[in-house]
Every structure is written in C-alpha cells, then in structure tokens.
A and B are shown apart, each in its own frame.
Chain A
Amino acid sequence: MSKDNPALIESATFPRHVVAEIQRAARTGIYDIRGFGAKRALPSFDDLVFLGASTSRYPLEGYREKCTTEVVLGGRFAKNPIHLKTPITIAGMSFGALSAQAKESLGRGATLAGTSTTTGDGGMTPEERGHSKILIYQYLPSRYGMNPDDLRRADAIEIVLGQGAKPGGGGMLLGQKISPRVAQMRNLPEGIDQRSACRHPDWTGPDDLEIKIQELREITNWEKPIYVKVGATRVFYDVTLAVKSGADVVVVDGMQGGTAATQDVFIEHVGIPTMPAVRLAVEALVEMDMHRKVQLIVSGGIRSGADVAKCLALGADAVAIGSAALIALGDQSPEFDEEYKALGSAAGFWDDYQAGNDPAGITTQDPELAKRLDPELGGRRLANYLNVLTLELQTLARACGKSHVHNLEPEDMVALTMEAAAMAGVPLAGTNWIPGKSSF
C-alpha cells in the first residue's frame, strides 16, 4: 500500500511503535517499565543448524539406542551435588513477582520432570519447598526473606550478581503487588514500591565474593553446591572471576532473559545475547581447565529442544528456562484473549507483569486471579513441556551420533549468518570460515 500511496510510507527511523513510545513518554513523564524479555530481533540460536550424521558420522537409532540426559551439578567443592534427569532447569523467579500457585506449579512441574526449580527475591515459600524435590535458593542483594534455616533447607545456593534482562540493575516490585504476605516476608510495609538492590550489601568485588562463599559453605556444612549467576556482559572475565572465587556452578543469563519489572530501555539495550555468551563462558572455563569441572548453566530466551541442544553443543552443561516455563503454565493463553485485550494487549503479547493484573493468574498477587491457575494442572503442563524439550534434545543428539547429550560439540554445527558464525564460533555454512578466528 505504501508503494501506491507515498503518504503512507512508514519511517524506518520512526516506525509506529517508536512514535507510540514518544507519545507515551510525553504523556506520562516516566519510562516504560514492563516484564518479559527483550522483544527486538537478536542474533539467536535459530541461526545455527546441526550437521546430522551421514557417511562420515554414525547416527544413533531413535527410540532404540540410548541417549542419556542426566547431569550432575556442583561437585567441585560441595558434599551433595545436584543430580538432574534432564539438563533443563527452572530459572529463579520470585514469590511476589509470581503468585504462590505459580511457584507451586513450577515446583510440581520440575519435580515431575526430574529437574530443579529456583526461588527468587523475597525468600522461599513453604509451597515451593514442599513441591520441589530439588530447590535452588537464590542469595540476592536485597536479602528479602533471607534466613539461614531456608539456606539449610535448600539443595543448592545461587548467589545472584545479575540477570540477563538487566545486568547492573536492581529490581522493583511495584506497590500493587505487595500483598500482606509479600510485605511480611520482605519485612516492609504493604503497598509500597519495593526496591531490590543492584549489588550486595556486604561485599565488593571478587576477592570479597570468595570470602562470602566461604561463609555460606561454613553455614551449610559444605554440603550445598554454590552457583554464581551473572547477567551476560563481560562474560569471559565474569566467569573467570566466579570460578576463581570458588563457585561450583556458573549461571550465565543472556539479554533475552525475562524479568518481572524492568525499564524497557534496560531490557533492550544492556547485555549481550545468549549465543555469544555461551561461547565466551566456555572459553573462560577451558582456559582455566575447568570445563566440566565447574558446570555452566545458560539461560535467556531458551524456547525449544533445539535451543537446548545448541547451548550444550557450545559447551554448556545445562540450561534454565523462565519465560518459556510461564508460557507452559498458561501465560499468554488464548483462553484469556478477551481479558488481555481489555487491558490493551492480546494473548501472545502480554508483558505487563509488573501490573499485578495478569488474566492468567501467574504474575499477580490478586487472590481471585491467582486462583485461576490450578497448580496440579500447571505443573503437569510444565512437565509436559520439559519432557518435549528433552525429547527434542535427544532427537538432535542421536542424529549427531551422541549417546549422551553432553557429547554434542561445536563441530556438530554450522552458522547460517556471518554474525552467528562469529558469535558462536562455528563456521559459516558451506565454508570453514569462523569470523574472528580464521581467514575466509
């Protein structure tokens, strides 16, 4: 239409969503705060493909020959490492950001699938602990709800230095989601905006972190694996310092990672995509001779078994999912389309997690909305989804002739774009060229 009518040619610099944002900013005087993750197109795992076995490689028979998926995390120093049936874990999400029913659903689903789930800011709820066979306890800057009893009740401890949606930023749980229970757990008045600090209150830098890890190990009798989670930025150095500080497991969260409430400008403009982050993290581990000794968990926009397989092929030990897990529970469901529309959105587009009025009853503290999610059904859906991801992962691994998903390697993949080739460190399809590493 625009070709026929020059008056309707849309500006590439000022497309409609940019115009709308300028108008919104002028109207409200405040930046846009929203949930979900980065929405713009980024170099992604879709730009990588596997080279299945053929004459030069030997595939494994689907459904017949074993392709194992078990993974052990945290055996470097901890007495009790984590054993998972599948290398797909549930990322940290808080009670407060999510309803108690949603947290319970995550625990149920993860447990059915044989994997772990993770607390978030605000502490550990009994529902979550009770329904999660393997629960990772996040140790966050705010220390909301942080207590040594829960630390000892956890199966592992994840020290959070940052997250992919906002590396270098803290959090904000807006007043509308501060129910009496959330307020009580965080020791703050009801209804006020709760700021989660951007850095830890009692240490500065990696030398202090090493001592902090020692303290946590002393408090928990050296039983619990210690994870260190970073948002993907200077990944090589951050992973190196985390390992040097004594981490058992490093978690790297790419910029596609989700959030419950962050400024849009932060979500879209800080951090690097997950794909190059995996490569950089693995390079750091290999250089320290710590690859597979300190495990690497990767998160940020993982959607399918193909994404999982590509992360593992690049050298990750496991992945974590957040946004995709919420969608599996029922977030974005067409069943609530009319209600999403009444809120100015639509099923598949909803990102106002901060608002507390989620029609799906997941990112809310409204008791009536929260009741919409049946934790048993939610857990079943999540388990189904996790099982599908695992089956897809095995399908790809068998096609590459691997009897364990950790045997996938970069050599099994090529890139479809120069950007992906450079970021993932695999050759551009049809060439031996890895930009930055070899000449064309």
Chain B
Amino acid sequence: MTEINLNTSTVRSLNEALQGAASGGKFSISNTGGKHAVSVGLTTAINVGINGHVGYYCAGMNQQASIAINGNAGPGLAENMMSGKVHVTGNASQYAGATAHGGLLVIEGDASSRCGISMKGVDIVVGGNIGHMSAFMAQSGCLVVCGDAGDALGDSIYEARLYVRGQVASLGTDCIEKEMRAEHKEQLEELLKQSEMGHNVDEFRRYGSARKLYNFDIDQVDAY
C-alpha cells in the first residue's frame, strides 16, 4: 500500500504516481481537502482509497481503476469514465457520471442535479435521491435510484434505462414509464448486488424513451 498525503504532495505528483502505476497497485490518499481533479486519467487496474472529501472531477475519465472515496464528492464525479469502478460513501454534487461511457459508479448517499447527464454506457447506482434534470439526453447505460428522483427525469432521453425505487417528481420530455420485464429485473438485480444495495427489484419502476423525438417532427414541436 502506497500512502500519499495531499498536505505534503501536490495533485500533480499524485496523479503522476497513479497514472504510472502497474495493475494491482494499492494506494491510500489522505488530506484531500476538497481538492479538484484528484485521481483522474487512471489507466490501469489499481485500487485507490481516498479518505476525505474531494472537489470537482474526481476520478474523471477513469479506465480500469477501482476508486473508493470515503467522503463526499464535488461536481463532475467520474465524468466520462470509460471503465472500472468508482464508489462514494457520501453524497455527490452536480453532473455525477456525466457523459461516462462505461464502468460502475456507486453513490451511497444522494446525487445532485443532472446526475448521469449524457451518459453513454456507464451504470450508476445511487443509494439516496437524485436532483432535477438527471439523465438528461442519456444515451445508454443504467441509472438506478434507490430513493426519489427530482423534476424532469430523463428529459430527451435516448436508449438509457432508468430504475427508480421511490417517487419521481416529474418526467422530462419524451421520457415514459415502461414495463419491467424479466430481463430488466435481472439487470437491476445484478447492479444492486454489485453496488451492495439490499433492495428488492420489485420495488423499482423502469423509465425510458418514448422515442417520439428521435427524428424532427413539426407536430411534436410543442414538446419543448
């Protein structure tokens, strides 16, 4: 285990060490102090434990690494993640998992607005609630919400799947509730298992695209 203290090391030297690490390496980071761009651009299957709160873009563009944050995360957590796993014990601010292409993002607490915006294949599991405009223009992947969802969930959604256990304040344009078939329950069960959320899949509802706005139609112009 390599320990890096951000009171004495810079974010630059931290990222340099993590980006150059061979797969299997283990790192523990302390005194994060809300710093930005912590543990970004990782490319190998290393384990990174972060003790403390982090600022913007923690775990940005992650590839293969498993990053656990024991604290809260600022805006843009795991933005554009490609693969690997990012796990936050606390809450996450705006745009968590934005545009992420793959991997698994787990937020034990709440996520703020625009969680999963333009997501492109990532799976996101939120233990608590999510804010408004989440999954806006979400292209693919799954967003699982164990609590409630804010206004305009899934606005202009493409092919992403949304599973919500609690209340949905409102659905966005072209987002509708859809039938939970066996394949969806199986997928959800697997995601809950991977993220260690002990909920029954029968408590969730599924939402997705009505696909009415995929091609411009003048008769749909009032949708906006």
Contact = CB atoms under 8 A, between A and B. Distances in A.
B41 interface: yes
A203 interface: yes
Given A192-B215, A215-B40, 15 more contacts: A30-B218, A143-B80, A146-B99, A147-B82, A188-B159, A192-B158, A192-B214, A193-B215, A201-B98, A202-B75, A202-B99, A208-B75, A212-B57, A215-B57, A219-B15
B113 to A, nearest CB: 11
B127 interface: no
A214 B120 CA distance: 23
A19 interface: no
A201 B63 CA distance: 20
A218 B82 contact: no
B37 A214 contact: yes
A215 B60 CA distance: 8
A211 B139 CA distance: 26
11 contacts: A143-B118, A172-B216, A187-B139, A191-B215, A192-B158, A193-B216, A211-B56, A211-B57, A215-B60, A221-B16, A222-B12
Contacts of A29: 218
Contacts of A146: 80, 99
A405 B96 CA distance: 47
Contacts of B218: 28-30
Contacts of A222: 12
B117 interface: yes
Interface of A: 28-30, 142-143, 146-148, 151, 172, 174-175, 187-189, 191-193, 195, 197, 201-203, 208, 211-212, 214-215, 218-222
Contacts of A189: 158-159, 214
Contacts of B61: 147-148, 151, 219
Interface of B: 11-12, 15-16, 19, 36-37, 40-41, 43, 55-57, 60-61, 63, 75-76, 79-80, 82, 94-95, 98-99, 101, 114, 117-118, 120-121, 136-137, 139-140, 156, 158-159, 214-216, 218
A218 B12 contact: yes
Contacts of B76: 202-203, 212, 215
A201 B99 contact: yes
Contact of A188 (B40, B94, B136, B158): B158
A30 B41 contact: no
Main secondary structure of the interface of A (DSSP, over half): loop
Nearest to B219: A29
A288 B9 CA distance: 32
B36 A201 contact: no
Contacts of B16: 221
Nearest to B19: A221
Given A211-B57, A215-B56, A218-B15, A201 B41 contact: no
Contacts of A202: 57, 75-76, 79, 94-95, 98-99, 117
Contacts of B36: 211, 214-215
Given A201-B98, A202-B99, A211-B56, A187 B121 contact: yes
A414 B210 CA distance: 59
Nearest to A146: B80
Nearest to A141: B118
A409 to B, nearest CB: 39
Given A147-B101, A215-B56, A215-B57, A187 B214 contact: no
A109 B29 CA distance: 48
A243 B75 CA distance: 23
Contacts of A195: 137, 156
Q: Give the most central of B19, B136, B140, B214: most A CB within 10 Å.
A: B214
Given A143-B80, A187-B120, A193-B215, A215 B75 contact: no
Contacts of B95: 201-203
A215 B40 CA distance: 7
B105 to A, nearest CB: 13
B120 A143 contact: yes
Contacts of A192: 158, 214-215
A146 B94 CA distance: 20
Contacts of A143: 80, 99, 118, 120
B139 A203 contact: no
A212 B79 CA distance: 11
A339 B43 CA distance: 50
Contacts of B19: 221
A193 B75 contact: no
A148 B63 contact: yes
Contacts of B120: 143, 187
B29 to A, nearest CB: 14
A188 B139 contact: yes
B213 to A, nearest CB: 8
